[in-house]
Amino acid sequence: MRLLKNILFGLLMLMIGLPLVQRTVPVFKETPLKGAYELPAEPDASVKTWFDGSFQEKYNGFAEYSIGLRPLLVRINNQIAFSVFDTALANGVIVGKNHYLYEINYIKAWKGWDFVGQKTIDDQVNKTAFVNAKLREAGKTLIILFAPGKASYFPEFIPVKYTRRASGETTNYQAYLKSFSKTGVPLIDFNDWFVKMKDTVSYELYPQCGIHWSAYGVTLALDSLINFIEKDRNIDMVDFSWNGVDIPDTLRNPDYDIAEGMNLLFKIPHYPMAYPRISFGNENGKTKPDVIVVSDSYYWSIFGKGYANRIFADNNFWYYNKEAHNPEWPAPRKTEELNIIDAVGKADVIMIMATEANLYRFPYGFIDRLYEALMAKGEVKASSTAATGDAGKEAGIAEIMKSIDSSPGWKESVQKKAAKKGISYEEMLRLDATWTWEQKQKK
């Protein structure tokens, strides 16, 4: 009995002392934790910081992150929370039914808890309609893209504690669709498309343990996007196709990205994913338009894999309208340092994309900035290949809407009509502007 106690005591001391030994003289090779975190620097001690307690406070934080075997201890703790309590100890991660993983922002968007208000959305859409008209005059194509969202695609696996809570007035997604439907702005709704073909597709469009669309979903979306641009601009782009798919035993990036950030000891069981074997045709005789894409992380699956570089010439990705990426540049640039009129003037196609979780900040300030620049300067440089479409009508309506909104008497009249009809001022504003434009055409 005494021997057993001594063995247990020795093991306890070893467990307590091993992290200190590992920190001082590393014995085991440690795998770093995944995710975004910043290691605190070791603080410098002084007489003042020692006696006022600030050194000890800072050193506690440093010691917590620098202790030996910390990654292993974190993974053990995270695994217990996940396996026993169905909880993810990762910021914003929600464990759904059957271990389907979500980020909380997707659930908030699906429930309408992040709704920014119809007026805010209508204002953005009206500015977008004006910008679209100006770009059309210059022979350019503006496309709004709604990427799919995991909460909308897999609502059946969202935990009950979220589904039973009351929803918001509406969602940003629904409000944007309603507002854009009254304009001529080109919109591609991949979110609705994915949900509708969920039960008929050959392979999964969303991974169980990731937050972005699958490689197969990206392939379908990119094929659709190319066809849309070709039709809108009356051009023949580089051929894009795939010949079968690979279904490996392990997931490829980013299909396990949420689970990776959870830092578990063991892999979460998941279904296999399909990866199309993509190919591109010869560029001879084909048109590669210049592009600016303003988007969240969903576009990395197109830009980061090199697909965009094969189908576009000057290939620009403005990540959240904060950081501009171009394969020809040695490093990214801050978008605020770029002249937006010059940048748009060089592009043939401008796309703005967001998944549902980011619609509360859509379109990332890009339309506001371009709208103000166009109001000040009035025009952008025309594309070498003109886009098709009824640009004159949209430009004329946008100008009349601006005139009504800046005329107190006319604006008040429209507001009264809106109240009488029971619709928003923005809706009535566009109706009156459209009627006025049509009457001018008859004359």
Domain positions in the chain are: 1-30, 103-389, 402-442
What pLDDT shows up at residue 406?
75
| Cβ atoms of residues 111 and 162 within 8 Å | yes
Question: Cα–Cα distance between 351 and 366 in angstroms, integer?
Answer: 11
State phi, psi for 33 to the nearest 5 degrees: -75, 150
Cα 62 to Cα 319: distance, rounded to the nearest angstrom: 33
How far apart (Å, rounded) are the C-alpha atoms in residues 398 and 24? 69
Q: Which residue has the tokens 């975004």?
A: 36
Residue 402 has a pLDDT of: 77
Query: Do 126 and 401 form a contact (C-beta atoms < 8 A)?
Result: yes
The residue ranges of the chain whose pLDDT is under 50 are 386-390
Running DSSP on this structure, what letter comes out for residue 333? E
Question: Beta strands of 54-190 (E only): which ranges?
Answer: 93-95, 101-103, 141-146, 187-189
DSSP 398-429: HHHHHHHHH-HHHHHHHHHHHHHHT--HHHHH
Q: Are 120 and 163 in contact (CB under 8 A)?
A: no
Structure confidence at residue 389 (pLDDT): 44
Q: In whole angstroms, give the CA distance from residue 280 to residue 309.
A: 11
The residue behind tokens 């886009």 is 387
DSSP characters over 233-300? HT--PPPEEEEEEE--SSPPTTTTHHHHHH--SSPPP-----EEEEEE---TT-----EEEEE-GGGH
Q: Is the separation of the CB atoms in 154 and 194 below 8 Å?
A: no
Residue 423's pLDDT is 79
Q: What is the pTM for the complete model shown? A: 0.78
CA separation for the pair 57, 49 (Å, rounded): 10
**Beta bridge mates, 278:** 242
415 vs 429: CA distance, rounded Å: 8
CB burial readout 332-353, b (16+ within 10 A) else e: eeebeeeebbebbeebbbbbbb
pLDDT at 338 (0 to 100): 95
Give me the pLDDT at residue 57, please: 65
The owner of tokens 């699906």 is: 110
Q: For residues 280 and 306, give the distance between their C-alpha atoms in angstroms, rounded to a whole number.
A: 11
Q: What is the pLDDT of residue 59?
A: 52
